[in-house]
Amino acid sequence: MTELNPALQTYLGIPAFVLGWVVFVLGAGLFTWLLYGRYLLVRAGQPDPRFDSLPSRFSDLLRYGFLQTRQPRYLWAGVIHLVIFWGFVVLGLRSVELIAQGLNIPLPLPAAEGFFGRVYAGLKDVFELLVLGAC
């Protein structure tokens, strides 16, 4: 049985991964152009001491950014936010894998085989349903 993978097909005689690279390069160029415009705006402002208290900033990143400790203030909105946030964290690995497939980049994921791969596949499916329900 052959694998059904759109990235391995050809469209109008052009390999799909070539089209994927064209879209990727155009998207990266547009993103860089927009980011440069934002950079010019930020550069025009006053200096900001971003590196003044790194341990405190790192602690806040872990507490508020990753653990999302402020979210449960409003019970249902907080729970829905946490489900969506952690769902996208879990689903991010699959997104990276799909992008690599579309660009024809061999992405060896040794942990994707065996026990971890089966656990992740099940967890991914559960989080897909949870995120869909939360949305």
pLDDT digits (tens, 9 = 90+) for 74-98: 888 888 988 999 999 899 988 888 8
87/131 Cα distance (integer angstroms): 6
Q: What number is the average pLDDT over the span 107-119?
A: 76
Helix (H) or strand (E) holding 10: strand 10-11
Tell me the per-residue pLDDT of 28-74, one tens digit each, with 9 for 90 and over: 999 999 999 999 999 998 888 878 888 999 999 899 888 888 877 78
- Per domain, the residue ranges of the chain are 1-48, 69-135
The reported pLDDT for the residue numbered 1 is 41
The reported pLDDT for the residue numbered 111 is 63
The reported pLDDT for the residue numbered 3 is 64
**Which residues does 8 contact at the CB level (< 8 Å), separation at least 6?**
16, 17
Tell if the pTM clears 0.75, that is, is over it: no
**Lookup result for tokens 């402002």:** 45
| Cβ-defined contacts of 116-122 (< 8 Å, 24+) | 120/93
